[in-house]
Structure 1
Amino acid sequence: MALFGLLGAKASADAAAIEAAALRSDRFRQEREGDWQRLEAIVTRMEKGRLRKISDEDLLQLPVLYRTVASSLSVARETSLDAGTRAYLESLVQRAWFLVYGPRTTLMGWLGRFFGGEWSRAVRAIWPELLVALALMVAGTVVGWQLCAQNPDWFYALVPGQFADARVPGASAEVLKKTLFGQTEAEGLSIFAASLFSHNAGIAILCFALGFAFGVPPLMLLVQNTATLGAMLWLYHGQGLTYDFVGWLSIHGTTELFAILLSGGAGLHVGRSMAFPGEQSVMDAAAAAGQRAAVVMAGVVLMLVVAGMLEGFGRQLVDETSGRYIIGYGMLALWLAYFFAFRRTPQGSEAA
């Protein structure tokens, strides 16, 4: 009997605790429900695009109401209120957050601003680093050529194995020419093109990502990558195929190498800002440079996609040198015109 008494007392205590928790939850909700409902009404109207039906007072109160409801959610979590109240508050806070702190523009609006001048301004803002990167790329090409000219064994050190195949020192002009023409249906050319694109895309990403190390890794990567180009130029030049090889490379290379140039410049820009922050702190200078460089890299991704399409389709469909030059240097002219001739500055915006 004593055991039954104890069990009955425990059950009564549990029931009293549950009732107290329910009362506490109801009281908590009643005290704050007015603010929740007001915020939910504002959020619902804004989500449906009914901005005209929202009063100025409600718009001004939106951030205040958001913080009030967020505070209610914090209390609800700490005091273990009922799951239904917590789920409601979590959903409402999430919806309100996107309206208070979320992006203020649509995807189309962002694209319009990006292509409408933001990308070109960011590129022009890092022009000193672009000149350094260009000088390094030219120097790397010359170094690769000269090393192979002095000792052909350097070719195997500079050119990755997957790029060599029949393209090796000692190959005849006929063999090398076959790698440039009459290969529109050849699977090997597609594999080589995919490997070259993957390699160059990786170089572009690394040039930017390693820029924080005071710009040293991008310097090395730019020289190393273009030394490979110099070695390939030396190989084809030796058999009198320089003009044809440059045309073969240009159909996608003008875009792809330009993308590498931009990524190298972006990485150097971040590194230079950290090494020479001026009157700013290192972190502030790096943050500002990183934002500008990130805009450049967003465009680099687009350029690499375009280069991939040119490499995958253009090179397969165009099998004569003059057409390759027209496409390749036509693309280069378009990029240069956009970056350095297109100087539209939206009203009220500042140059990067």
Structure 2
Amino acid sequence: MDLDVFVTAHGAEWDRLETLLRRKRRLTGAEADELVALYQRTTTHLSLLLSSAPDPALTGRLTSLVARARSKVTGARRSSWRDAAGFFTTSFPAAVYRLRHWWIPTAVLSLTVAALLAWWIAAHPEVQSTLGAPQDLREMTRPGGEYETYYSNHPAAAFAAQVWTNNAQAVALCLVLGSFLGVPVLWVLFENMLNLGAGLGLMSSAGRLDTFLGLLLPHGLLELTAVFVAAGIGLRLGWTVIDPGPRTRRIALAEEGRTALGVAVGLAAVLFVSGILEGFVTPSGLPTWARITIGIVAELAFLTYVYVLGGRAARAGETGDVTATDRAALLPTAA
């Protein structure tokens, strides 16, 4: 492509488009039609330029023109409460439902690892000795020890906020680090399961497993589910790097990455509920059966939410990605 000839042939059209975009008054019908036509032609010019003669200065000018014209043609989009409602009733549950084949096996395998670690620690005193001095372990597991007072040593509101922040960070790590082939996600999962297995094993060896479960289940069911969802989706993102499927790797990563970020926002809300349970229900004076029942109800409510709303949205074609109007336009390029 002769760049000078190309600019001479189409420069007047770009200047006219620039003029129309600068108009402060409302465009007439004829001017609006002209704007649309010039926007379409300039988009084609930009595509040809990118594929044949990518001049940085000219490319920058046409990219700016196309972006401004697109905004003018389609209108500026403003977020609203309807968008938030649509996210929580459609996009988020659909993404979690669509990727259930990743996070459900992740949950099963993780809990299996935690159970094996708990049995290993409970059945082998020599392993327990590697976790701490005998007197320290007794202090942790005795009635009124550290495992019990952990949930009531701080004001409920401050504790709930701290728990929510810590769990949200763990979930964000799983989702963000998934693109590194999922390896960091496996490490985050193992650390969580090691802590869970150690608590189960130590309290079981002290004959106080029922007390530990009474403290864990009210908030832990929902909290662990959020972690497993994040880990599963993070692993899915890592697998996309290896096998993007029929999509190009760039497009596949963009789509799955946007979905993962959306899920991170949704899980922040889920963890907020879990933090409330951990801060106010777990250390409360309610009977153990009542606290556990509250935790089970919260877990069942989340799963019902995912499988009913999410399943319906997924079957309707929702993937959890942003809407088409919010995605970057893909320009055709020459092979």
Report TM bin, short chain: 0.5 to 0.7
Structure 2 partner of 1:215: 182
1:222 Cα shift? 0.8
Query: Which amino acid in structure 1 is aligned with residue 275 of structure 2?
Result: G
1:175 is paired with a residue whose SS is coil
Q: Structure 1 residues 169 and 226 mapped into 2: Cα distance closer, same or farther (>3 Å)?
A: farther
Q: Distance in 2 between matches of 1:231 and 1:178?
A: 11
Q: Which residue of 2 aligns with 1:344?
A: 312
Give the whole-Å Cα distance in 2 for the aligned partners of 1:250 and 1:38. Answer: 61
Q: 2:156 touches 2:280 (CA, 8 Å); kept in 1?
A: no
The structure, 1 or 2, with the larger RCO (C-alpha pairs under 8 Å, 6+ apart) is 2
Change (3 A) 1:41 1:147: farther
Report the alpha carbon displacement of residue 106 of structure 1 after superposing the two structures with TM.
3.0
Change (3 A) 1:192 1:41: closer
The one of 109, 117, 125 aligned to 1:144 = 117
What SS does the corresponding residue of 2:137 show, helix, strand or coil?
Answer: coil
Aligned equivalent of 1:200? 167
Map 1:248-287; keep pairs closer than 5 Å.
248-287=215-254
> Paired residue for 1:39?
23
Give 1:300 deviation, angstroms: 1.0
Distance 1:155 1:193 in 2: 27
Q: Within 5 Å, which residues of 2 pair with 1:58-137? A: 60=33, 104-137=77-110
What TM-score do you get using the length of structure 1 for normalisation? 0.65
Evaluate the alpha carbon distance shift between residue 248 and residue 194 of structure 1 in structure 2; reply closer, same or farther with a 3 A threshold. farther
Is the partner of 1:202 in helix, strand or coil? helix
Superposed displacement of residue 345, structure 1: 3.2
For structure 2, the 5+ residue unaligned runs are 1-14, 41-56, 58-65, 320-335
% identical equivalent positions: 27
Aligned: 1:187 with 2:171 = no
Change (3 A) 1:311 1:95: farther
**AA in 1 matched with 2:25:** A
Name the structure 1 match of 2:129. 153
Pairing partner for 2:193 from 220, 223, 226: 226
Give the total of aligned pairs.
279
Classify 1:188/1:294 alpha carbon distance in 2 versus 1 (closer, same or farther; 3 Å).
Answer: closer
Q: Partner of 1:291 in structure 2?
A: 258
> Aligned equivalents of 1:178 and 1:278: distance in 2?
47
Match of 1:323 in 2: 290
Q: Structure 1 pair 210/194, CA: closer, same or farther in 2 (3 Å)? A: same
321-330 or 289-298, larger mean C-alpha shift: 289-298
1:195-234 CA deviation, whole Å, 9 max, x = no partner? 6554433221111111011112212211221110111111
Distance of 1:190 and 1:169 partners within structure 2: 29
Please point out which of 274, 278, 284 is paired with 1:311: 278
Deviation per CA, 1:137-171, whole angstroms, max 9, x where unpaired?
213312431442321034359xxxxxxxx983465
Give, as a single letter, the amino acid of the residue that structure 1 aligns with 2:137: V
Comparing 131-140 and 310-319, the one that deviates more: 310-319
Indicate if the aligned counterparts of 1:126 and 1:266 stay in contact, CA closer than 8 A.
yes
**Secondary structure at the counterpart of residue 177 of structure 2:** helix
User: What is the aligned-residue RMSD (CA, Å)?
Assistant: 4.0
Which consecutive unaligned segments of at least 5 residues does structure 1 have? 1-30, 43-53, 68-77, 79-92, 158-165
Q: CA deviation at 1:56?
A: 5.6
